[in-house]
Amino acid sequence: MLVLLVMGFLAGVATVLSPCILPILPIMLSGAVGGRSRPYGILIGFVFSFALFTVFATFIVQSLGVDINLLRYIAAGVLALLGVMLLFPALQSKINSMIKIPQLSSEKRQGFMGGLATGATLGLVWAPCAGPILAAVITLAATAQAGWGSFLIILSYALGTGIIMLIIILASREVLEKVKVIYKHLDKIHRVFGILVIIAALGIATGYDRKVQAYIIEATPEGWTSFLQSFEENEAVLEALDNLENKDTSMDFNIKEKNLAPDIRDIEAWINSEPLSLEDLRGKVVLVDFWTYSCINCIRTLPYIESWHEKYKDDGLVIIGVHAPEFAFEKDLGNVQKAVKEYGLQYPIALDNNFSTWKAYNNRYWPAKYFIDRDGYLRHYHFGEGEYKESEELIRQLLAEEGQLPQDELSVEDNTSFDPRQTPETYLGYWRLANFKNQNELVRDEGNSYQLVDNLKKDDWTIGGDWRMEYQNLDSTSDNARLKLKFSAKNVFLVMGSQDTREVKVMLNGQELGASDRGSDVNDSNIVQVKEHRLYKLIESDQFIEDGILELIFPDGVELYAFTFGS
């Protein structure tokens, strides 16, 4: 716990340097005007409000039956009122007299109590850039598993942010008071801050603040946020987070005790369906499938799942594909909709961008299937590919328990295979870097020139030319950038994308691909046309290729994420 408290505080300090602080900066800086105790009121109000609301929001909303968006609107309204009072100080007295509130002194209005109200309201609406520590606690809160330990961690996080902001506010106040030219216009400065607070409140009420934040984050170099959060990713922190989350590696305890399956929660968007809940689906057999659209293992399962949907939907089977993104681009609704259409999926798809449902199931795998009976109890699970025949038999068994046995014959044949010589999934960002032969040249989050390494061993890979390696991806930064991989498999796939169409050259063992090896995304000239972010099929061979050398030649502007393989 002590590790998380210290690291949480440091993460909060680092947040002040992140782009996520900018949308609320005008409100924070409004503490530079007003009574001398106002900044301290903002600090205390912000720290406790943010910590309490972040950890206990789910409990509060469920207990009171309040729409969480209503709280956001109320907070925006309070901020707007505070902004109006900064803009028109005399209005405070009129409002108090109209609603029979005892008059507060000017010092209290613009001092500690006014700052406390500002800070408390701000804590309800702030959405920081979440690193591992904050993300873990937010996930626990979303799944109603957070406790006082989580509260203390968030409190230390907010305190780290608040103290640095307090220093900035006090420094700004010092400048205002000591520079006489500015001090002469203090009333006007009050009004300027009032206008800024009102604008910020309007942005919060309309959701435009999130668009501004997203724009700022997009405009900020990706490596900067990754750098600010990198110290959170050491082994001590990750081990402490596992203990905090009380992680379990399977759902055995639920199946043996026949507990109700966790519900689908905190879904950002639905495709092919209105929002669904397991409670509403009582009387139906439900298959929950965790997947993500660029995962080759997931993609290979989709035809089976879609066939079950078509075959058994009229018998009482409901399939919910819970899309939990592995990479940032997989959070985009448009990308997921395009993939759903491309794969011909007709069953409901839920976007679990915050991993709330994933966490509720203690899931750790793509793909993963959870089988739920008509009474809502979790009866079985399966991780990874394969066992399609057994899975369909289980679906038929669950359908028959309180209904009629489906008339159709069992049709699925499990034709999956795996060669133990196959190269494992290979990630190309420094997040899960392995078998990378240019480690001595590696510069994180900055462009650098690399030299291809000779004499690759099994599963090794190397790059040459100009590249930029970031947390999840590897970006080519000039033409003729090269990548070589020594692999063993029949099929080789690469998750990549680009802002504009780019042509990538594919070669095998120093030669152009033959027709029997060429993947479906490679044309007769051995070129892949890369644009949208997805999985590209580079090699689909008739024979298992052992210790083959794949060479790719990239132009500037291609983002690479991971190699996956099939045998």
Please tell me which of 21-30, 256-265, 366-375 the model is most confident about, judged by mean pLDDT. 366-375
Do 426-566 and 249-401 fall under one CATH topology?
Answer: no
Whole-number average pLDDT of the chain: 77
Residue 140 pLDDT > 60: no
User: Could you give the strand order of the β-sheet that contains 368-372, starting from the edge strand earlier in sequence?
Assistant: 270-271, 349-351, 317-323, 285-291, 368-372, 378-383
- What is the identity of the amino acid at 376? G
Of the pLDDT bands very low, low, confident and very high (cuts 50, 70, 90), residue 240 is low
Q: Which CATH superfamily is domain 249-401 in?
A: Glutaredoxin (3.40.30.10)
Least confident among 273-277, 297-301, 493-497: 297-301
pTM exceeding 0.75: no
User: Alpha-carbon distance 112 to 49, whole Å?
Assistant: 15
Contacts 24+ apart (CB under 8 A), 391-395: 391/304, 391/308, 392/304, 392/308, 395/285, 395/287, 395/308, 395/312, 395/317, 395/371
Residue ranges of domains in the chain: 2-233, 249-401, 426-566
DSSP code, position 441: G
Least confident among 33-47, 84-98, 133-147, 400-414: 133-147
* Of 185, 175, 54, 29, residue with least CA distance to 123: 54
Please compute the mean of the pLDDT values over residues 295-320 and round it to a whole number. Answer: 88
pLDDT of residue 345: 93
pLDDT of residue 405: 62
CATH number attached to the domain at 426-566: 2.60.120.260
DSSP code, position 102: P
pLDDT of residue 41: 85
pLDDT of residue 541: 92
Cα 176–201–114 angle (5° rounding)? 55
pLDDT of residue 452: 95
pLDDT of residue 95: 52
Of the pLDDT bands very low, low, confident and very high (cuts 50, 70, 90), residue 529 is very high
Task: Kindly report, residue by residue over 448-475, the tens digit of the pLDDT.
Answer: 999 999 989 999 999 999 999 987 789 9
Task: Kindly report, residue by residue over 21-51, the tens digit of the pLDDT.
Answer: 666 677 677 666 667 788 888 888 888 887 7
